[in-house]
Amino acid sequence: MRHCACVSACDEQVCSEETISEIMQRYLPYNAHAASYTWKYDGEQLEMDKTLLQNGIGDDDERFYDLRIDDRQFLCALHVYYDDDLTEA
């Protein structure tokens, strides 16, 4: 038996000033229950009122540019976990 991680298939460009809550608001058209899900990065639950950087998620675009690596090849993956709280959309 193998473990398989399913990550949301939504690919969004976000501003560094946006909070996780603001990112989640733009995700709602893809999943109307997104506000009741647990949002995580690297196994840690994210604080919805903080930005990616404030949650410890750095922006590596400069480093990728210096190394001539296409930054679109390495996306920041936010994991959205179903909480089974039976909310209505």
Summarize pLDDT for 38-88 with one digit per residue, the tens: 999 999 999 999 999 999 988 877 888 888 888 677 777 888 888 776 655
What pLDDT was estimated at residue 45? 96
Provide the token pair at 17. 């000033």
**DSSP E strand stretches across the chain:** 38-41, 44-45, 79-81
What pLDDT was estimated at residue 40? 92
Summarize pLDDT for 7-25 with one digit per residue, the tens: 655 677 788 889 999 989 9
Helix residue spans in the chain (DSSP H): 20-27, 61-66
What pLDDT was estimated at residue 58? 84
Which amino acid is it at 57?
I
Q: How far apart are CA 60 and CA 67, in angstroms?
A: 11
* Distance from chain centroid for Cα 43: 12
